[in-house]
Amino acid sequence: MTVKEIFETMDYGPAPESAAEALAWLVDMGDRFGHFIDGAFTDPGETFEAKNPATGNVLASVTQATQKDVDAAVKAARKAQPAWAKDGHARARVLYAIARLLQKNSRLFAVLESLDNGKPIREARDIDVPLAIRHFYHHAGYAQLLDSERPGLVAQGVCGQIVPWNFPLLMLAWKIAPALAAGNTVVLKPAEYTSLTALLFADICRQAGVPKGVVNIVTGDGAVGEMIVNAEVDKIAFTGSTAVGRRIREATAGTGKALTLELGGKSPYIVFDDADLDSAVEGLVDAIWFNGGQVCCAGSRLLVQEGVAERFHEKLKARMDKLRVGDPLDKSIDVGAIVDPVQLQTITRMVEENTEGETYRAEVTMPAEGCFYPPTLVTGLSTASKLMQEEIFGPVLVSMTFRTPSEAVALANDTRYGLAASLWSENLNLALDVAPKVQAGVVWVNGTNMFDAAAPFGGMRESGFGREGGWEGLGAYLKPAGQGKRLKRVEPQTGEAVAADPLDRTAKLYIGGKQARPDGGYSMPVWGPKGTLLGQVPKGNRKDVRNAVEAMNGAAGWGRTSGHQRAQILYYLAENLSARAGEFAARVDAMTGKGGKAEVETSIRRLFTYAAWADKFDGEAKGVPLRGMALALKEPVGKIGALCPDESPLLGLVSLMAPAMAMGCRITLVASEPAPLAATDFYQILETSDVPGGVVNILTGSHEELAPVMADHLDLDAVWSFSGAELSKEIERRSAGNLKRTWVNNGLATDWERAEGRAFLEAATEIKTVWVPYGE
Ligand code: NAI
């Protein structure tokens, strides 16, 4: 071929990376792997094959863990944890050593990852491995700074971590680095398709001076995952499918195990008519053909503005035809192999079963054999179509058009997921106007699939909860020191049915800013400690909860008010409560027999605390080593259902209501069951303090009956419970339906005198990380 011809075709030949060193490492390790437990590899047990999806060749045999193996790993982790948690600097040194060793072995990791997973070597080499290294460096720093920067917090303990097959090493890094930095020890299970880089990592741990038992790797399938979930661990961190995430939520309900779930997505990729279309096309290559579309936050749903749609689709198809699909070890390949024949079948079936719209397959040369799928674009789908709603997890892009920015937002949010979104526009006003309206944990402006150890990553809605990366992600591996006293149950008082006061003292519910009769028409008596009847309160039911949720929907504007405005209203609440302090103190005394004055005083202080926080609990701008900046913003979690503690009838209510209000949430509180009258008196304070109707709703009635209704409600974003232990399990189990956020006490006591601050504010907020172009 002449130089002229080369320039005309721009064709280039293969540039294969050698697999020799990676294969030699496998041979050195004996080609058969046991687990890595207590600092050493165990003998292989019953094994399964690790295959190269590009060729079908067997790479090694990996052991399917037994219950005994998992128990041994957890035991080793438990034993190692206290010593590991002691010295932040010692941990920093080890994390730094891991980072350095990963760097020194970076090509080995990249090649092994590409062989095992099928991803292009270019991606493994330039993205997965460098990001994993960056994660360990960055977290060495957290280990160093933790004691001074986060006093009062301690490690969770032993963490069970389950990772998927799409970014085997990177997801391991996202899990292990923060866990170790915070002083936890881990038992990690890689996905059954891709165990090899985790085992190579174990080998690195031996060299990095990781103390025995701090990192344990067990291999196997979902059954092993279940064993880890059910083991004596303190926290579970999971990345994978929403279906399995739900099961884990149910399995851990009521156990007190901390949980973070990073699940699926169907992330919108929005192209406005003023976007730089060529950049946006190039961005799509990184959005949906990066890792063959097997990316939880893949920009898999293209929304393009009508005026430019035709031109954009033409450009896109031309670009698709230029993608090179083939041998992942070829450095000039864009799209590698699909991880496993099972996944290939799923993708093929989903696309074949679709009967709507038009399907365009890139005109590319496909490898004769191996697990490959061509880059595909499906246009003309309706919003309800399965391909529009469900994760395909392959190189398949679906596309729709929109006319106006508000239609784009509506379409973007027409999904049960909320992981990520990309916005393309040359008009920064437009992009930054749309960014807060899109329900997604990560928003990229004129970019896509950017990640960094400093920038929190994670989902909203059914994409899961918890963040990975940054101080925010580290928080999931920490807990307040000194937790653990059991809650003493407050038994309902009883008495004689003789009214102390002949006047009718039947309170109502408080919904939508108005006092409302209960739907069911039943009331419950409230007794004082000496058996005196103090009054009656309504027995709220399912319909009342639904009405309260409707009222919260009507008050959506609260989330958009300024922190300054919310602060003013909280101060006003404090002022009005202060004006009637004597009356409230007497009411608390009448119900509980003591402490009314102090409780009212602390409630007023608490209102001041959250008035103070309302305009100060700000996000952070993260310096990321890319051209841009990641803004970790705090958004209100949304609509909260909260079961107030039985003890501290006024202070408990205020302690939950005020942080929620301060952060822009709407909240429906179920008052203390045995002592609800301070809550029903509180309506008057709310009414006189300019709280917009629907922002705070108060119900009375049986916690046991109302908690499941709230936990089941698909239109509630979070349920908090500081009520009895039994409810915690029920709430967490039922919350799996829409994966709403839960915050429950698991029967542990809360010191309401002191219970305020960051933990409450964090529960009321969700992090949205917005990546914006910035600087050179
Ligand atoms: P998966 O969710 O079944 O697997 C992820 C991990 O969970 C693996 O390590 C697996 O062994 C483990 N696991 C499976 N069942 C478990 C259980 N009951 N308890 C504990 N751990 C369990 O994902 P799978 O089946 O490999 O892929 C199916 C679909 O899931 C994909 O097509 C994709 O849509 C989605 N997915 C999403 C990922 C993400 O990053 N969000 C990653 C992987 C898959």
Name which residue sits closest to atom 9 of ligand 1, judged by CA: 191
Ligand 1 atom closest to the Cα of residue 419 is: 41
**Beta strands of 496-538 (E only): which ranges?**
509-511, 514-516, 523-527, 533-538
Distance 114 CA to ligand 1 centre (A): 19
Alpha carbon nearest to ligand 1 atom 43, residue: 240
**Residue 63, Cβ density class (10 Å: 0-12 exposed, 13-18 middle, ≥19 buried):** buried
Q: What is the pTM of this model?
A: 0.96
Q: Where are the domains of the chain?
A: 28-263+473-477, 268-455, 538-766
Among 70, 116, 244, the mutation site with the greatest number of ligand 1 atoms within 8 A of its Cβ is 244
- How many A from CA of 466 to the centre of ligand 1? 17
Q: Are 302 and 336 in contact (CB under 8 A)?
A: no
Name which of 585, 615, 600, 638 is nearest 752 in CA terms. 600
- H-only helix segments in 253-305: 277-288
Output the residue whose Cα is nearest ligand 1's atom 25.
Answer: 241
Asked if the ipTM is above 0.85, the reply is yes
Q: Whose CA is nearest to atom 40 of ligand 1?
A: 296
Residue with tokens 């799509």: 284
Q: State whether residue 698 is helix, strand or coil.
A: strand
Q: What is the DSSP letter of 514?
A: E
From atom 14 of ligand 1, which residue's Cα is the shortest distance away?
222
The angle that helices 88-104 and 129-149 make with each other, rounded to 10 degrees, is: 170
CA 240–ligand 1 middle distance (angstroms): 4
Residue 763 sits at the vertex; the CA angle it makes with 758 and 769, to the nearest 5 degrees, is 90
Beta-bridge mates of residue 696: 667
Please report the atom of ligand 1 found closest to the CA of residue 265.
41
Quote the ligand 1 centre to 297 CA distance (angstroms).
15
Per the CB < 8 A criterion, the answer to whether 692 and 557 are in contact is yes
Compute the distance from residue 242 Cα to the ligand 1 centre, in Å.
8
**Cα–Cα separations (whole angstroms), residue 43 to 37, 160, 661:** 11, 22, 56
164 CA from centroid of ligand 1 (Å) = 6
**How many Å apart are CA 506 and CA 529, to the nearest integer?**
19
Structure confidence at residue 471 (pLDDT): 97
Measured in Å, residue 462 CA sits from the centre of ligand 1 at 15
Pocket of ligand 1 (CB under 6 A): 162-166, 189, 191-192, 221-222, 225-226, 229, 239-241, 244, 247-248, 263-264, 296, 346, 391, 393
pLDDT at residue 506, rounded to an integer:
76
* Shortest-distance atom of ligand 1 to CA 243: 2
Q: For residue 228, give the ligand 1 atom closest to its CA.
A: 20
Question: Domain 268-455 adopts which CATH fold?
Answer: Aldehyde Dehydrogenase; Chain A, domain 2 (3.40.309)
Specify the ligand 1 atom closest to the Cα of 162: 9
Distance of CA 212 to the CA centre of its chain: 30
Q: How far is the CA of 484 from the centre of ligand 1 (A)?
A: 33
Cα–Cα dist 369/234, whole Å: 45
The closest-lying atom of ligand 1 relative to the alpha carbon of residue 295 is: 40
Nearest CA to ligand 1 atom 6: 164
464 CA distance to ligand 1 centroid (A)? 13
Q: Which atom of ligand 1 is nearest to the CA of 346?
A: 32
Question: 50 CA distance to ligand 1 centroid (A)?
Answer: 17
Residue closest by Cα to atom 29 of ligand 1: 241
CB atoms near residue 687 (< 10 Å): 15
Give the residue ranges of the chain where pLDDT is below 50.
Answer: none
Residue nearest (by alpha carbon) to ligand 1 atom 27? 241
Active site residue ranges: 262
**718-721 β-sheet, strand order:** 514-516, 509-511, 696-699, 666-670, 639-643, 718-721, 741-744
Q: How far apart are CA 774 and CA 767, in angstroms?
A: 20
Q: Strand pairing partners for 37?
A: 40
The Cα–Cα gap between 257 and 259 comes to 6
Q: Determine if residue 151 is left, alpha or beta; phi over 0 gives left, psi from -120 to 50 gives alpha, anything else beta.
A: beta
Mutate to test the pocket of ligand 1, among 241, 266, 297 (most ligand atoms within 8 A of CB): 241
Two structure tokens written together for 121: 């070597």
Determine the atom of ligand 1 nearest the C-alpha atom of 220: 11
Do domains 28-263+473-477 and 538-766 share one topology? The answer is yes
Cα–Cα distance, 692 to 709 (Å, whole number): 25
What's the 483 CA to ligand 1 centre distance in angstroms? 33
Q: Which amino acid is at 374?
A: P
Alpha-carbon torsion angle 191, 196, 201, 202, nearest 10: 90
> In sequence order, what are the beta bridge partners of 635?
766
CATH value of 28-263+473-477 in 3.40.50.150, 3.20.20.80, 3.30.70.100, 3.40.605.10? 3.40.605.10
Q: Which CATH superfamily hosts domain 538-766?
A: Aldehyde Dehydrogenase; Chain A, domain 1 (3.40.605.10)
Give nearest CA residue, ligand 1 atom 35.
241
